[in-house]
Structure 1
Amino acid sequence: MTVLFECVHRGERHFGCEAPVDGAPLRLYPLGGEDLRARLLAADGDGAALVAALTEGREATTVPAAERDTVTFRPPLLPDSLGDALVSGFMQTHNVKADATTQSQPNWFFKGLGETLKVPGEALAVPGDAVAVCEEAEVVLVYVTDEAGVPRYVGYTFGNDLTDIGRFKRHNGHLSYAKLCDSGVAPLLFLDAPPESVTGRVTIERDGATAWEGTFTTGTKALHYGLPDMMAELFSYTPLLHPGRVHYVYIGADRSSFHAGFRTADRDRVEISFETHGVTLANTVDWR
């Protein structure tokens, strides 16, 4: 799988084209004035050619494993103007949640702008009056809107759609409020079609000890809805189609710790391991 990520190393912006491995050196290239979003649009889905073009003639920097703490990862393709990033998603999309009341099109929700995206190691903020918060391990689709106002798919990553599910359960008309929590996101952008099957494990730690563990299954095969239909409906609405906007779309989750009867507390550490893809998100939940 071809990947791309952005980071800051010793005060300078860099990018990388290989998935970071724990305990191993990190190979980086100076970003300079490169616009990765524009280059992705120009590549039109050819990830291998994009990587070859980006790295040709650039001198790589190798960060030793012992100096990995000098590297700060960024959400994939996050614009410098955070208002140009829109974070949203769909609810109850998975087969395990479908029943007789399931609608022909899933509900869509807005989570926030670019500042709500948090990479591993950063705290995930939730409202101080949240009722019951849960993790949601999800595939995240990334779209860049071109100059003609057409959102074009450029790849996927993984995320944690943190949700005040208690508020939604108390009043299902409050979905929009329930979703206004920070979103965990992996820094890796996979330059491939959305994955059909993703499996993994959630571990929630409290005061340094495991408080809850569970597994999950996601990916396009787990969806009750056809992904092309979902996205076509979403992007049929003109107010979303501002040129240059980057969309991060969370496509729904399997059951969570809440469905198993667990209640997340302030300062809990939530670790989501997307085991099939070698990606782990770990964030502390912060009631504010």
Structure 2
Amino acid sequence: MSDPLLFEALYQGRRHVGFGLPEHGAPQTLYPVADGRLAQAFIDTDGSATALKAALADDATALTVAADDPELRLLPPLLPTATGKALLSGFMGTHKKKWGGQSAPEGEFTPPKWFFKGFGEWIRLPGESLTVPADPVALIEEPEVVLVYVNDAEGMPHYAGYTFGNDLCDIGLHRKDPGYNPYCKLCDTAVAPWLFLGEPPTSVNGRVTIERDGATAWEGNFDCGGDALYFRVRDMVRHLFSFPAVRRPHLVNYVLLGADEASFHQGFSIADGDRIRIDVKSHGVAFDNAVRYVTPAPLD
């Protein structure tokens, strides 16, 4: 059984929080929350479902809507309304497969490579298109665990929970020259809106399906839980938050933990218009996004 979860959503122009995974067409109870109220609740409480419900679930203001109500719009978990108040970043080369199946020795820590993906408002939700620069060298989908942290007024990070994402990137550009990795990461990233309330998961598995013209073009399994990683999650996170830049007061951090091998490693090429479905079978959630090539107007 997976950890309890919550989500945030806009309904009729107002921000709400809900508990439990919404089911298609089923009634869903929502509780109004001001922008930043949920983040503050993680700072003020122990972050458990019981404590969060006590702090946020006011039955007097609750309303019930259908999960597929067209006015209900899910949000990335804890994403502030103000721009520039959240960062999306991650680690590279974290899986044991890339380290001969071994785990890092106890008591030793060499930090994995890290990348900055973008601001929080750059996150794309399930169903939205993932845009990439036209004519990429070779795209790769990357199903990953996403840890979510919120900093308090002094900049101390508070762990909120985890969700899942697709860190789409141009691995071909990276392989052409690792120094091009910052360019490689300038592709949209999808993040699921469901925040699981528990420690970073040790076991996460699922299946990727890539559709082209309505038919399955490629599919394969993935594993991105902590047990599949060479590095220990606590070591990676501790090192990242040793940098003051990510400990600014009231900042929300989305941290990608790295991906398993994917379609690229089996010789598949993602094309414009392909739809990538990430089915996290271990946690009962799935999301999909179409890939769109975009050519901006040239500079004068």
Q: If the length of structure 2 is used for normalisation, what is the TM-score? A: 0.91
- The 2-side partners of 1:51 and 1:164 are apart by 41
Equivalent position amino acid for 1:214 in 2? G
Residue of structure 2 in register with 1:36 after alignment: 38
- Does 2:118 match 1:112? yes
Q: Percent identity?
A: 50
What is the Cα deviation at residue 96 of structure 1?
Answer: 1.0
Helix, strand or coil at the partner of 2:131: strand
Contact 2:42–2:158 (8 Å) recurs in 1: no
Q: Give me the CA root mean square deviation.
A: 1.8
What is the Cα deviation at residue 34 of structure 1?
Answer: 6.3
Contact 2:15–2:35 (8 Å) recurs in 1: no
- Does 2:85 match 1:98? no
Instruction: Say how many residue pairs are matched.
Output: 286
Match runs of 1:1-288 below 5 Å: 1-32=3-34, 35-64=37-66, 67-99=68-100, 104-288=110-294
Contact 2:31–2:58 (8 Å) recurs in 1: no
Contact 2:36–2:80 (8 Å) recurs in 1: no
Equivalent position amino acid for 1:92 in 2? G
What is the Cα deviation at residue 150 of structure 1?
Answer: 1.5
- The 1-side partners of 2:35 and 2:194 are apart by 20
Helix, strand or coil at the partner of 2:173: helix
- The 2-side partners of 1:134 and 1:225 are apart by 22
Contact 1:26–1:68 (8 Å) recurs in 2: no
Helix, strand or coil at the partner of 1:39: helix
- The 1-side partners of 2:199 and 2:260 are apart by 20
More displaced 10-residue stretch of structure 1: 172-181 or 209-218? 172-181
| Residues 45/32 of structure 1: CA separation in 2 closer, same or farther (3 Å cut) | closer
Segments of 5+ residues of structure 2 without an aligned counterpart are 295-300
| Residues 195/146 of structure 1: CA separation in 2 closer, same or farther (3 Å cut) | same
Deviations 1:242-264 (A, max 9, x none): 10110000000111111111110
| Residues 33/273 of structure 1: CA separation in 2 closer, same or farther (3 Å cut) | closer
Helix, strand or coil at the partner of 2:286: strand
What is the Cα deviation at residue 54 of structure 1?
Answer: 1.1
Segments of 5+ residues of structure 1 without an aligned counterpart are none
- The 2-side partners of 1:74 and 1:57 are apart by 22
Deviations 1:36-68 (A, max 9, x none): 111111113333211132113443222135x53
